[in-house]
């Protein structure tokens, strides 16, 4: 059995860790509220752009924009993996990396290019010698729309230049505080033909023309979509970290209770042993 000093030191150490996890939980909760507000504000705008393009693209020749063109076959593919820069967020990063690696290996590692957003994805795939063409780190605390434009520019250039024939985005979608779902979404080429809902355009007048409207909306939609992915991932990260730190704080409290009980038992045992030694010494003198 550990001596009293060792147990006391362990209790002190666990209490210190508990204070840290509790503080991290409060910070993550504050960040999550702001991130969730920004994400929910952006969703209606992104959805409206999606609906407008869905109604226009079936009537448009895709050759008008390089970003709309489809390749005959998908021989090379770009995977955009969105993770966090830091850990201590439960399975947030692990779930994304697991699905991303399975998707890449299924397609073929030698035919896949990677664009890593976040240190966790970059470090994971760099150690395994995957083909990483670009990475973005240390920007989450200053996240803004310019980051989405910069990332989308790199993605679009890869697709337009024919270096890749399809682009997939793998990220965490925010469902609620207790649930985040990993999504593997085909970003390019844009696909709308399979949608069951068809929007009637008979009573709409487009000025100047449908083609001009599409040329204006497609770049804006692609930038906004990347922005939405970043907002979803950031809100999911903070929610996952808040829950992880809450569980860690609760586990620390349980550990403190167990160690305190162990300390009391050890102290009682020491007192009993000391009393027996005193009594035994008194009996020996008699």
pLDDT at site 178:
85
Instruction: Output the CA angle 32-37-39, nearest 5 degrees.
Output: 90
* Residue with the two structure tokens 């073929």: 108
How is residue 2 annotated by DSSP?
Answer: -
pLDDT band at residue 196, thresholds of 50, 70 and 90? very low
The sign of the CA dihedral 159, 81, 36, 23 is: negative
pLDDT at site 203:
62
Q: Which two tokens stand for residue 20?
A: 């840290």
Whole-number average pLDDT of the chain: 88
Give dist(CA 209, CA 192) in Å, integer: 20
pLDDT at 107 over 90: yes
Looking at per-residue pLDDT, the higher value among 285 and 17 belongs to 17
* Residue with the two structure tokens 């085909």: 186
**Could you tell me what percent of the chain has a pLDDT over 70?**
94
Choose the most confident range, by mean pLDDT, from 60-64, 224-228, 264-268, 275-279. Answer: 224-228
In 3D space, the residue among 270, 242, 220 whose CA is nearest the CA of residue 49 turns out to be 220
Q: To which CATH superfamily is domain 43-244 assigned?
A: ATP synthase, F1 complex, gamma subunit (3.40.1380.10)
* Residue with the two structure tokens 């060792």: 6
Pair 117, 151: CB distance under 8 Å: yes
pLDDT at 55 over 90: no
CA dihedral 283, 284, 285, 286 (to 10 degrees): 50
**What pTM was estimated for this model as a whole?**
0.84
What are the tens digits of pLDDT across the range 68-91? 888 788 899 999 999 999 988 889
Pair 212, 58: CB distance under 8 Å: no
Give dist(CA 105, CA 128) in Å, integer: 12
pLDDT at site 197:
46
pLDDT band at residue 192, thresholds of 50, 70 and 90? low
């Amino acid at each position: 059995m550990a001596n009293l000093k060792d147990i006391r030191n362990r209790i002190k150490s666990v209490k210190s860790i508990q204070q840290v996890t509790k503080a991290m939980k409060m910070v993550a909760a504050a960040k999550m509220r702001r991130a969730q507000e920004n994400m929910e504000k952006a969703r209606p705008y992104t959805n409206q752009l999606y609906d407008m393009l869905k109604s226009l693209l079936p009537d448009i020749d895709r050759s008008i924009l390089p970003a709309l063109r489809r390749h005959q076959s998908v021989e090379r593919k770009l995977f955009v993996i969105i993770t966090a820069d830091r850990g201590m967020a439960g399975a947030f990063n692990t779930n994304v990396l697991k699905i991303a690696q399975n998707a890449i290996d299924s397609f073929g590692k030698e035919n896949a290019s990677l664009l890593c957003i976040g240190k966790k994805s970059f470090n994971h795939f760099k150690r395994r010698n995957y083909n990483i063409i670009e990475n973005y780190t240390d920007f989450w605390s200053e996240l803004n729309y310019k980051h989405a434009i910069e990332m989308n520019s790199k993605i679009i250039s890869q697709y337009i230049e024919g270096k890749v024939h399809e682009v997939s985005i793998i990220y965490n979608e925010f469902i609620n505080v207790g649930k985040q779902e990993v999504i593997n979404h085909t970003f390019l080429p844009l696909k709308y033909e399979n949608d069951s809902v068809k929007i009637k355009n008979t009573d709409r007048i487009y000025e100047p023309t449908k083609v001009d409207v599409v040329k204006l909306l497609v770049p804006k939609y692609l930038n906004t979509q990347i922005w939405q992915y970043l907002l979803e991932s950031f809100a999911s990260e903070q929610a996952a970290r808040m829950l992880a730190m809450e569980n860690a704080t609760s586990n620390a409290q349980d550990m403190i209770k167990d160690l305190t009980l162990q300390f009391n038992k050890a102290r009682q045992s020491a007192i009993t042993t000391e009393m027996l030694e005193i009594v035994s010494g008194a009996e020996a003198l008699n």
